[in-house]
Each structure stands twice: as structure tokens, then as C-alpha cells.
Amino acid sequence: MKKIVCLFIFVVALYSCNKEEQPQELKPVSLNGNWQFLASNSINEEELFKASYNQWDTLQVPGNWDTRERYSEYVGKGYYQKTFSLPKNWKAKQVRLKFDAVYETTKVWLNGELLGDHIGGYTPFEFNITDKVDFNKENSVVVMADNTYKRGAWWAWGGISRDVTLMANDDVRLVYQHITSVPDFEKQTVDFTIKYKVENNGSTSASAKIYAEIEGIHKDSLSLTVEKASTAVSYLKFKKPLSDVELWHFNAPNLYELNSTISINTNEVDTASDKFGIRKFEVRGEQFFLNNEAVRMNGINRVHDHPVYGNTEPDELVLKDMLDIKSLGCNFSRLMHAPLSKNLLKVCDSIGFLLVEEIPVWGDDDPQTFPDNPLTKKWMKEMIERDYNHPSVVAWSVGNELRENDSIAATWPEKKMTKNQYDYANSMLDYVKELDPSRLKTYVTITTYRKGEIGSEPYEKVDFISMNSYGSAVELTKITHDKFPGKPIFISEIGIGQIGPAPKGKLKDELVGYLKKLKDLPYVTGISLWSYNDYRSNYRGTPESGFREWGIVDEKRNKKEAYEQLKEIYDYWSIRELPENSK
């Protein structure tokens, strides 16, 4: 217990020093707080901008409308409105309005003018409002959020679920800095690459200089020219002796900080600060290797869901859950079928928890499963650009449980991926490699052990097989390995029926047996139980309570008997010997 408390204090300290430094006059302005709110599927735009907003209800942003009893079952369009004024010293600046996430389809208006729209409920988007904002009076922003679109069994929490921020910059700014730091264990060096994307909103080209510093490791600079009204990408590359750094590992999550400044004619115009870790996560044969050592890691899935907070989970809840998951012996999971929240990623970086992140493409009827889908590419790009620097993220997944629907294959044993699904996965795996060749890539299958064959599963392009099993897990894993040999298999979900309510809910004896026997398969790199917490759902099979009881804790985090069962099983896994050829 003392160890967990110390880790809690350590992680809180890391949070407190992870703020971006900006000149005082350019500090971002938060628009979080009370917004006016109207739930309506009938109001038109003419009525919308003539409305008396002070007669609407009020909701807290960030948040979800479904956490309020009166809107708990509401599906459709919710309208948010807020007024704001800008600092006078922002007049000569570029001003942007940023949303960290809105579920799911969004339109945004400023002073009655449409800024644009966004599709996708878990990734950030922004608008440049420099020419549209009024510095002489209050401005009115109206946001339409529509939660009609739904995937999977998790609840489609509606609304502005993440921060809303006003930001100001000079004409030239740093869009992002992406750092890759890869140890070379043969040469005993670390190869660093920093990729900078710079934007110039000015009317003339700009010659800029970027100064980079990783405290205690390296200082460097580069020069670049950015044409007017355009962006430019430039790179810094350098090597350091491996002995000069501390690696990031699930047992020792050492973090560094990259601080960069961009200047024009010696005038500082923008800064960026990001934490990162130095580590190498790779596949060799049928094993995972972390920092040149074979590893087998277990986990548990976690649904972003709470009856009070919805999926707008406060820091303290995320931290408590992840420390609890870590205490169970968990180090690796694809926690959720959607891009994770920023506060959860920071915790995973800080405590040493490895992640596979996934976009919400799911099931037998997903309308997004066709090749070269521009929308899913957009989701993947937004997620990777946002999360690139997090050492906890070691792989990207392009979808979950894609398979024929019942109109094509009448029974589960007959199912395989459709041609469209296969082409979708192949094209997305290529796109992931283009966006981020430094990480592993996968998709999650339930068809490899059914009618899936080489040629109908994108086996060649994945670095490891992620496989879900809700039946005879040992047998199905063996079938998958026989049909698709030579690659590690991660059991990304495992379960048999719902666990039941707290406190008596238990893992079925059959499932306990599978969890223990899977350790004897040398190509199985780990298992992840579905799931840590019960979660709200209206998916088929959900109990009358409205919460799917798959968790080892309930929706309020009360422990079940299954909690201690899993702890014992993962203790059993932790003493398992690795195969001789992996040492």
C-alpha cells in the first residue's frame, strides 16, 4: 500500500510540471465552465440564432449531457452556447478556437457564421478565428453536438466531452514537435529524430530558427524558411551514447522533457514542451521485446465510463483506476476501442503501462470499412499526431472484430472478413506505417480461428496478431497460430459471459482454466481480460441495471470476487518462464 501511495504522489508531481510555458500575454484562455444548452432535433438555424440563450438550460463543459437525469436517454442534437471576450493585446495575433473532443458530429458557429464541422468524437480539432472574432464586444460561439452515431457496446456519451480553449500566436507557430528516440543495442547508441511542423499565417515568407533542448542530454538548433500562408516540416537528428540515458520501461518509467523555441530575428514567437521516454518495443519472431529483453505482459481492458462523469473522467479517477490496474500485475492492454483521453495517457506514461490505441471501427456492420476511407484516415492522423510523443503508446490498431454479418454467414463458425473489410484493414495498415513507422501496427480479429485464411486476413501487414476470445480460448489460439504462424499473439480480449454484480460476481471456472493454460503457449505474449469496470450500455444482453457486468469492479469501482481471482491468476503468470529461444 505504501508503494502505491508513493507512486500516486510521484505521478501528481509529474502532472504539475507538465504545463506548456507561454509568454504571459499569450496564455491560453479556457472556455470551460457553464454553457447554455438546448436538446433539440427540430430547431433550425434561423431559430437557433434568434434564440434567447439565457432561457436555455445550463451544462458544465467539459462533460456529457447523458449524466443529467433529464437527458440520460437523449439521442440526437445538443446545442451549446457561450459568450466570451478576448484580451485586447491579442489584436495583432492569430487566434484559434480549439476543441479537444466533441461527440460525435459537430458544427461550430461564431457570431452566427459557420466556422466548420468535424466528424469523430474522440480527437481534437480547431478553427482559426482571427478574421471572424470581434475585439470590441462579446462574441458568441454556438456548438452543435450530435451523438446519433454509435459503435460497439459502450455508451455513446454525448456533448463537449473535453476542454475548449482560445489560443493566440504570432503569424509563425509550432504546430507540433514529434520526437523519436530509438536505442540501438548493438552499437550502444540512441538515435534521436525531432520532427517539427511549422505554420506561417503571415503575408510574407518567414525565416525562422528553432532551438531545442532535452535537459541533461542535448541542445541543438535548426533554421528553416516557411512560405506565406503555408506549413513546413523540418528535422533535427542526432545520436547519444546509450550509457548517457535512462530507458523507459514498465518497471522504470523514466521520462525526459523536450523544450523547443522558435524565433524570428531573435524574437521568440512560440514554444513547445513535451515529455517523452526512450524505449524500444519490437517483435522478434513470436515474441515481444522491450529494451532488448523478451517480455510477456498481461492487462485488462478499461471502458471510459462512469455513472457520474460519463466519459469526461477527472484526473483523480483515471489515476486511481490505472494505479489499481497496475497493482494487479497489468502492464499492457488495448484499453478501449477509441482514442484515449490525454489525462489517461499521461498517467500511463508516468506509471509504466504500455498501450495499443485504436480508432472506433468495430463489428459486422461498420459503415467505415471500405478501402482508403478518408474519414478513418482522418481519425488515425488526428490520433497519431496528438499522441505521438507518449512512450506508453507502442502500437496502433485499425479496427476491432470486423466480420461478415448474419445475412452473409448464418452462424458464427462460418464467419470471415468481407472483401471490403479486408481491403479496409490493408489500406489502413499501410497508412499507419506512413504516419508512424516507429510503432507496431495491428488489428483485432475474431475470424482467424473461424473461416479466416491467409488472403482474407491482413496477416502479412500486422506486426502481431491481436485476438479476442469469448469461448474455448486455448483451442482457438492454437488454431490461429497454426493458420497464421510466425507472429506473436496477444489475447486482446478474453471472457466468458458477464461476471455479474458486486460483490459476488466471479470469473467462471472454465475461464480461470483458460487464463492459466494460455501461459503454456510460447507464442502468446499476454492476455487482457474484458474488463476492469462495469459500464453503461444499451447493447443486447445488458442487464436491467443498464450496466454491462463484465468488470472485476462495478461502475462505482466496488470490487467483486473476480478482482482477487484475477490478481491470483496474474501472479501465476508472472512466474512463468520464457521459451529458451527468447532469452
Q: What letter does residue 454 receive in the DSSP assignment?
A: B
pLDDT of residue 410: 61
Three-state SS string over 498-548 comes to CCCCCCCCCCCHHHHHHHHHHHHCCCEEEEEECCCECEECCCCCCCCCCEE
Which CATH number belongs to the domain containing residue 213 in this structure? 2.60.40.10
DSSP per-residue string spanning 46-77: HHHTTS-GGGSEEEEESS-GGGSGGGTT--SE
DSSP per-residue string spanning 146-177: E-----SSS----EE-S-EEEEEE-SEEEEEE
For residue 243, say if its preceding peptide bond is cis, omega within 30 degrees of 0.
no
Q: Is 281 part of any domain?
A: no
pLDDT of residue 19: 41
* Residue type at 313 in one-letter notation: E
pLDDT of residue 69: 97
If asked whether residues 375 and 451 sit together in one domain, one would say yes
Out of 247, 276, 305, a domain closes at 276
If asked whether residues 459 and 315 sit together in one domain, one would say yes
pLDDT of residue 413: 83
Q: What letter does residue 370 receive in the DSSP assignment?
A: S
* Residue type at 246 in one-letter notation: E
Stretch (H or E) spanning 128: strand 125-128
Q: Is 400 part of any domain?
A: yes
Interatomic CA distance for residues 327 and 564, integer angstroms: 11
Based on the structure, what is the number of domains in the chain? 3
If asked whether residues 195 and 116 sit together in one domain, one would say no
If asked whether residues 209 and 141 sit together in one domain, one would say no
Q: Is 423 part of any domain?
A: yes
Q: Please work out, in degrees rounded to the nearest 5, the angle formed at the alpha carbon of residue 188 by the alpha carbons of 182 and 190.
A: 25
C-beta atoms surrounding 114 within 10 Å: 11
Q: Is 320 part of any domain?
A: yes
* Distances from the Cα of 72 to the Cα of 23, 102, 536, 546, angstroms: 42, 17, 11, 11
Q: Is 555 part of any domain?
A: yes
Interatomic CA distance for residues 309 and 324, integer angstroms: 19
Percentages helix, strand, coil for the chain (3-state, rounded to 5) are 25, 35, 40
pLDDT of residue 572: 74
Do residues 180 and 438 lie in contact, with contact meaning Cβ atoms separated by under 8 Å?
Answer: yes
Interatomic CA distance for residues 255 and 274, integer angstroms: 10
Stretch (H or E) spanning 9: helix 2-16
What's phi and psi for 434, nearest 5 deg? -70, -40
If asked whether residues 131 and 228 sit together in one domain, one would say no
pLDDT of residue 409: 61
Q: Is 564 part of any domain?
A: yes
Q: Is 1 part of any domain?
A: no
Q: Is 14 part of any domain?
A: no
pLDDT tens for the chain, 583 residues: list them: 445 445 554 555 555 444 444 555 689 999 999 999 999 999 999 999 999 999 999 999 999 999 999 999 999 999 999 999 999 999 999 999 999 999 999 999 999 999 999 999 999 999 999 999 999 999 999 999 999 999 999 999 999 999 999 999 999 999 999 999 999 999 999 999 999 999 999 999 999 999 999 999 999 999 999 999 999 999 999 999 999 999 999 999 999 999 999 999 999 999 999 999 999 999 999 999 999 999 999 999 999 999 999 999 999 999 999 999 999 999 999 999 999 999 999 999 999 999 999 999 999 989 999 999 999 999 999 999 999 999 999 999 999 999 998 766 667 788 999 999 999 999 999 999 999 999 999 999 999 999 999 999 999 999 999 999 999 999 999 999 999 999 999 999 999 999 999 999 999 999 999 999 999 999 999 999 999 999 999 999 999 999 999 999 999 999 999 999 999 999 877 655 555 444 4
Interatomic CA distance for residues 480 and 468, integer angstroms: 11
If asked whether residues 193 and 221 sit together in one domain, one would say yes
If asked whether residues 143 and 237 sit together in one domain, one would say no
If asked whether residues 48 and 123 sit together in one domain, one would say yes
Q: Quick one: cell of 275?
A: 515529455
If asked whether residues 363 and 253 sit together in one domain, one would say no
If asked whether residues 39 and 187 sit together in one domain, one would say no
If asked whether residues 178 and 218 sit together in one domain, one would say yes
Do residues 234 and 224 lie in contact, with contact meaning Cβ atoms separated by under 8 Å?
Answer: yes
* Distances from the Cα of 536 to the Cα of 229, 307, 327, angstroms: 46, 8, 25
C-beta atoms surrounding 294 within 10 Å: 16
Using CB atoms within 10 Å of the CB of residue 75, give its burial: 0 to 12 exposed, 13 to 18 middle, 19+ buried. Answer: middle
Rg (CA), the chain: 24
Q: How many CA atoms within 13 Å lie on the side-chain side of 487? A: 19
Say whether pTM exceeds 0.85.
Answer: yes
Out of 130, 145, 166, a domain closes at 166
Do residues 225 and 206 lie in contact, with contact meaning Cβ atoms separated by under 8 Å?
Answer: yes
Of 487, 485, 449, nearest to 465 by C-alpha is: 487
Q: Which residue has the cell 468535424?
A: 118
Out of 276, 302, 324, a domain closes at 276
Q: Which residue has the cell 510466425?
A: 486
* Residue type at 47 in one-letter notation: E
Q: How many CA atoms within 13 Å lie on the side-chain side of 310? A: 23
If asked whether residues 517 and 555 sit together in one domain, one would say yes
Provide the H-helix boundaries in 388-468: 419-435
pLDDT of residue 520: 93
Sorted by sequence, the CB contacts under 8 Å of residue 117 that are 6+ apart come out as: 105, 106, 107, 108
Which CATH number belongs to the domain containing residue 412 in this structure? 3.20.20.80
- Domain containing 485: what range? 294-582
Residues β-bridged to residue 418: none
Stretch (H or E) spanning 126: strand 125-128
Which CATH number belongs to the domain containing residue 114 in this structure? 2.60.120.260
